A and B are shown apart, each in its own frame.
Chain A
Amino acid sequence: MSDRLTPPPDRDFPAGRLQLRKEQLVSQIFTTSQTSSRRRPRRVLVAVAAVVGAAVTAAAAYGGYTLTRPVTPVRSIGCYESVSLSANTAVVSAGDGSPVAACEGVWSSAFPGDEQPDGFAACVLDSGAIGVFPAPAGSDPCDKLGLPRLAQGSASQP
């Protein structure tokens, strides 16, 4: 070939290499995809089992903790301005009276300008503290917020 602008002619794959390359490719593509599709459910099962195991362990640990932790008297109560966990909150001393009575007593000074609600409800917050929320007639703020209602006459929380 004398012309420097014309490339060398076409060549075949070296002997045996075409077949070898083909087998490698087919094996890589189809064996891998079959293997991965077979393994995927197994991997999912392992992941699900791990998550379930972790959840059971955490639940058992939390249950054990709540059953055995020492009872701590409630020292303060959160009086919420509205039925929302992010509402303005006045923190008052629990005292000897009921949490609802404590909040009723401070409401007008804590939230001046707000109309005193018709009623209040005391709920147990996730932290174990007591939150008192305005409870207009016929509504249940604890239920609305997904919190347990404080048992009647209870002044301390486990």
Chain B
Amino acid sequence: MGDPSDRMLWQRAGAGDADAFGVLFERHAKRIYNYCFRRTGDWALAEDLTSATFLTAWRTQNGVPLRAESALPLLYGIATNALRNQRRSFRRRRDALSRLPLERHDQPDFADETAVRLDDEREMRRLLRLFGKLPSREQDVIALCEWSELSYEDAALALGIPIGTVRSRLARGRRRLRELAEADGPKVEVQAVPLRMEVNER
């Protein structure tokens, strides 16, 4: 017998089964964590947002059956809203942080991974500076379909928009991102975007 489906776990969690909720968290937290990181460029914030996403999912959807077999579209949708809501305050905080020295005392203890994660953050923030020039609706579909490898159908569910809209926004966003990258400087290797398109459209 295989692992219980998300739908089953969600139902059991709604009936008060804490273990079922724990299994759902363990199953999907990593994907939401990485999604939040790619939208913020901040691992510590991504960790907080991951918890907030699951908590919000519970508070707003408890007792409501999942619309998909997987809980991921629901979680990505909530995470996207959480990111949007905190973006304003995050911008203020980021602006304040950018004026401080790079040492972060509130950073979780990443042990040996610290250097790698700091590199990730630097890399991601550089990418987000370019990415942030896209309209937010195009950012959402690229972050979901390209960076999180969500299917068009699941991305449509997550964002509450038709699949056709996901496709058109994705196409526009990719084109615009390539143009932005080309205008940004000679070091950019723009061919990586079409390669990812092929992977996703299989």
Contacts and interface: CB of A to CB of B under 8 A. Distances in A.
Interface of A: 1-8, 10-15, 17-18, 21-22, 24-26, 28-30, 33
B183 interface: no
Interface in B115-152: 116-117, 119-120, 123-124, 126-127, 130, 147
A30 B34 contact: no
Contacts of B37: 11
A1 B123 contact: yes
Interface in B27-55: 29-31, 33-34, 37-38, 43, 47, 50-51, 54-55
A22 B26 contact: yes
Given A4-B187, A5-B192, A29-B21, A13 B117 contact: no
A6 B195 CA distance: 11
Contact of A29 (B43, B58, B124): B58
Contacts of B198: none
B68 interface: no
Interface of B: 16, 18, 21-22, 25-26, 29-31, 33-34, 37-38, 43, 47, 50-51, 54-55, 58, 108-111, 113, 116-117, 119-120, 123-124, 126-127, 130, 147, 177, 181, 184, 187-190, 192-193, 196
B29 A18 contact: yes
A29 B16 CA distance: 10
A15 B110 CA distance: 7
A4 B47 contact: no
B30 A13 contact: yes
B10 to A, nearest CB: 13
Contacts of B51: 21, 24-25
Contact of B188 (A1, A5, A7, A11): A5
6 contacts: A10-B31, A11-B34, A13-B30, A22-B22, A24-B51, A26-B18
B26 A4 contact: no
B47 A21 contact: yes
A26 B192 contact: no
A95 to B, nearest CB: 71
B123 A8 contact: yes
B181 A4 contact: yes
Given A5-B190, A11-B43, 17 more contacts: A4-B126, A4-B127, A4-B181, A4-B184, A5-B127, A5-B193, A6-B127, A7-B124, A11-B33, A13-B30, A14-B111, A15-B111, A18-B30, A21-B29, A25-B54, A26-B21, A26-B22
Contacts of B43: 11, 14
Contacts of B55: 25, 28-29
Contacts of A33: 16
Nearest to A15: B111
B189 A3 contact: yes
B167 to A, nearest CB: 20
B114 to A, nearest CB: 9
Nearest to A13: B33
A63 to B, nearest CB: 49
